[in-house]
């Protein structure tokens, strides 16, 4: 029976493992997918942030080259302009170093890195202040091209957030182009020596002004979209200042540079005037950049926190499944044990029943054969139980059955000893490891304990109290007996005890009774 109970427990545990692992696998799949998706988003944003930093340094380089282009176009530089030219050259050198450092730390697009590094080397070797307008224009265009390519390779152009996408377009495309068109006007205007522009230069200015107006429309649309979801006072203020500055440049170009009677301002004055307004446009660029950088950093932080929450949620869900299933398993195990107990025990006496006896008897023979120890089987019967029932009633009969059962349980001292109610007033005991003498002593002690209960039994011819008769058989190791044969021999010994006058123990020994 122990083996059967073990098998059932093992089977129940397998079911517990199954119903626990399956949901855990489901939870693991769901949360792993969510976590991997977040890690993908995290890498996406990290690439964006790295690319944005590189683009910022490239754009700062472009702004300084544009300034240098304007200063280099002036034929007679003032002392202030000469000092500014020197300072601008130093800034460009620092910008190029920072770009190189940034692209070295980036993991994206190795061919693009090599191209950009090679281009930076060529720029560092050239004396930019002595180069022509067209040469510097090509340098600026090349840097802008790298800025655009980096925005693709670092996923900036693929950003799914509308606000971020709008700001990226402003920072990577619109504002750099707007500043470049104004920078070209500045460079050409400061290159005049006789305060007169050629017709080609005037036509070029008109084209640039039209381009500026087109970009202003797109920029206005983008910023108005941004204002619907983001209330940034700094962005609005710099936007207003940018519009005023751009209008000043447009007005100055139309009323001073394009008029027929010549330019009133000296080249140094033109540079200062246009540069002052360009700086306000650059301020809008910087504000957009900071706003975008803050947005990406916030998303990066939120994604990291969400990743931690997903891990915690997965662990908590797994723990919850294990705990809930564990509770159900324990309760179910106890319930099954109770059911099993009910199926193998007698409800009145709590002794093992006949069904369990039949199962255990065979197992005990196997244990006896393996351990080489004697097996003792005791069968006992309440003397004149029917007469007791008829005389004192069924409730009294139930009471003496319970009393006998109690004494049987109290007599069992070892873990392997078992007592059974075989039916009606008949009981059985199985013990492994006691010899004939010990078995006889055990049986006599039990018999005396029953009689010492001093339960009155007027119809008992053997005693005035309740008594039992017992048949005992001890099976020695290596003795071949079947369960049916053992039971028959013990029953014969019991019959002999009754025949001899009851209230006694008879031991079956080699087909003799003692």
- Quote the pLDDT of residue 5: 52
Number of domains in the chain: 2
Report the share of the chain in percent with pLDDT over 90: 50
CATH of the domain at 435: 3.30.70.270
For residues 22-39, average pLDDT: 85
Are residues 236 and 110 located together in one domain of the fold? yes
With a cut of 80, say whether residue 195 has pLDDT above it: no
Are residues 363 and 413 located together in one domain of the fold? yes
- Quote the pLDDT of residue 371: 83
With a cut of 60, say whether residue 235 has pLDDT above it: yes
Using the 3D structure, point to which of 290, 314, 338 is the last residue of a domain.
314
- Quote the pLDDT of residue 1: 46
Please count the other Cβ atoms lying within 10 Å of the Cβ belonging to residue 30: 14
Minimal CA–CA distance to 497: which of 455, 433, 447? 447
Does 358 fall in a domain? Answer: yes
Are residues 264 and 138 located together in one domain of the fold? yes
For residues 261-271, average pLDDT: 79
- Residue 257: partners with Cβ closer than 8 Å, 6 or more residues away: 185, 189, 197, 202, 205, 263
With a cut of 60, say whether residue 514 has pLDDT above it: no
- Quote the pLDDT of residue 306: 92
Residues with active-site annotation: 425
The pair of three-digit structure tokens given for residue 438, joined into one six-digit string: 């010990």
- Quote the pLDDT of residue 260: 64
DSSP type of residue 459: T
Are residues 372 and 310 located together in one domain of the fold? no
Does 321 fall in a domain? Answer: no
CA distance 457 to 390: 11
With a cut of 70, say whether residue 78 has pLDDT above it: yes
With a cut of 70, say whether residue 469 has pLDDT above it: yes
Are residues 365 and 281 located together in one domain of the fold? no
- Quote the pLDDT of residue 261: 67
Report the share of the chain in percent with pLDDT over 70: 92
Confidence of residue 416 (pLDDT cuts 50, 70, 90): confident
Are residues 299 and 378 located together in one domain of the fold? no
- Quote the pLDDT of residue 147: 92
Confidence of residue 334 (pLDDT cuts 50, 70, 90): confident
Residue 63 sits at φ, ψ, to 5 deg, of -60, -40
**pTM of the prediction?**
0.64
- Quote the pLDDT of residue 513: 53
What range defines the domain where residue 427 resides?
354-513
Are residues 305 and 384 located together in one domain of the fold? no
- Residue 436: partners with Cβ closer than 8 Å, 6 or more residues away: 474, 507, 509
- Quote the pLDDT of residue 95: 94
Minimal CA–CA distance to 129: which of 200, 187, 186, 46? 187
Are residues 157 and 24 located together in one domain of the fold? yes
pLDDT in tens, 354-413: 988 988 888 888 888 888 889 999 999 999 999 999 999 999 999 999 999 999 999 998
Are residues 359 and 291 located together in one domain of the fold? no
With a cut of 50, say whether residue 250 has pLDDT above it: yes
Minimal CA–CA distance to 248: which of 225, 214, 279, 285? 279
CA distance 9 to 300: 50
Are residues 294 and 367 located together in one domain of the fold? no
pLDDT in tens, 80-108: 889 999 999 999 999 999 998 888 876 55
Confidence of residue 510 (pLDDT cuts 50, 70, 90): low
Does 333 fall in a domain? Answer: no
With a cut of 80, say whether residue 511 has pLDDT above it: no
Are residues 467 and 391 located together in one domain of the fold? yes
Does 331 fall in a domain? Answer: no
CA distance 474 to 33: 68
For residues 206-227, average pLDDT: 93
CA-based radius of gyration for the chain: 52
Does 214 fall in a domain? Answer: yes
Are residues 12 and 146 located together in one domain of the fold? yes
Helix (H, G, I), strand (E, B) or coil at 417: coil
For residues 49-60, average pLDDT: 92
With a cut of 60, say whether residue 512 has pLDDT above it: no
Share the mean pLDDT of the chain: 87
Does 339 fall in a domain? Answer: no
Does 58 fall in a domain? Answer: yes
- Quote the pLDDT of residue 263: 67
For residues 271-290, average pLDDT: 93
For residues 34-61, average pLDDT: 90
Does 150 fall in a domain? Answer: yes
Minimal CA–CA distance to 487: which of 377, 324, 349? 377
- Residue 327: partners with Cβ closer than 8 Å, 6 or more residues away: none
Minimal CA–CA distance to 171: which of 91, 64, 291? 291
Using the 3D structure, point to which of 253, 284, 314 is the last residue of a domain.
314
Helix (H, G, I), strand (E, B) or coil at 454: coil
Confidence of residue 473 (pLDDT cuts 50, 70, 90): very high
């Amino acid at each position: 029976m122990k083996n059967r109970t073990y098998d059932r427990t093992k089977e129940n545990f397998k079911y517990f493992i199954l119903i626990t692992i399956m949901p855990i696998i489901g939870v693991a799949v769901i949360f792993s997918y969510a976590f991997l998706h977040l890690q993908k988003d995290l890498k996406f944003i990290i690439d964006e942030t790295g690319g944005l930093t590189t683009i910022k340094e490239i754009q700062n380089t472009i702004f300084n080259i544009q300034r240098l282009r304007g200063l280099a176009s002036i034929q007679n530089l003032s002392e202030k302009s000469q000092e500014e030219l020197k300072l601008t050259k130093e800034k460009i050198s620092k910008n190029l170093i920072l770009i190189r450092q940034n692209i070295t730390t980036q993991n994206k697009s190795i061919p693009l890195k090599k191209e950009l590094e090679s281009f930076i080397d060529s720029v560092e070797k050239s004396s930019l202040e002595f180069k022509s307008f067209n040469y510097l224009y090509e340098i600026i265009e090349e840097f802008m091209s790298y800025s655009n390519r980096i925005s693709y390779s670092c996923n900036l152009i693929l950003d799914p957030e509308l606000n971020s996408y709008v700001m990226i377009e402003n920072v990577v495309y619109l504002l750099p182009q707007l500043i470049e068109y104004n920078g070209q006007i500045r460079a050409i205007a400061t290159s005049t020596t006789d305060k007169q522009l050629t017709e080609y230069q005037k036509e070029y200015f008109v084209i640039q002004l039209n381009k500026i107006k087109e970009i202003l429309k797109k920029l206005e649309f983008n910023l108005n979209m941004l204002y619907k979801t983001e209330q940034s006072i700094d962005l609005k203020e710099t936007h207003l200042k940018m519009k005023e500055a751009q209008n000043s440049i447009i007005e100055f170009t139309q009323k001073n540079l394009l008029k027929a009677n010549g330019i009133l301002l000296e080249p140094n004055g033109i540079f200062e005037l246009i540069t002052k307004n360009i700086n306000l446009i650059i301020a809008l660029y910087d504000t957009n950049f900071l706003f975008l950088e803050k947005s990406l950093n916030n998303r990066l932080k939120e994604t990291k926190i969400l990743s931690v929450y997903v891990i915690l949620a997965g662990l908590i869900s797994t723990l919850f499944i294990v705990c809930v299933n564990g509770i159900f398993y324990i309760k179910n195990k106890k319930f099954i044990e109770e059911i099993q107990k009910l199926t193998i025990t007698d409800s009145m006496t709590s002794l093992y029943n006949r069904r369990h006896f039949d199962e255990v008897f065979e197992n005990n023979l196997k244990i006896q054969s393996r351990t080489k120890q004697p097996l003792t089987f005791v069968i006992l019967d309440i003397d004149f139980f029917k007469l007791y029932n008829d005389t004192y009633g069924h409730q009294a009969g139930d009471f003496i059955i319970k009393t006998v059962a109690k004494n049987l349980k109290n007599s069992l001292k070892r873990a392997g000893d078992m007592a059974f109610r075989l039916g009606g007033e008949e009981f059985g005991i199985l013990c492994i490891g006691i010899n004939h003498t010990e078995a006889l002593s055990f049986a006599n002690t039990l018999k005396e304990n029953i009689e010492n209960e001093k339960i009155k039994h007027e119809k008992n011819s053997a005693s005035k109290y309740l008594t039992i008769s017992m048949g005992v058989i001890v099976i020695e190791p290596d003795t071949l007996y079947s369960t049916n044969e053992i039971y028959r021999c013990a029953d014969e010994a019991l019959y002999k005890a009754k025949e001899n006058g009851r209230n006694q123990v008879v031991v079956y020994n080699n087909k003799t009774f003692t």
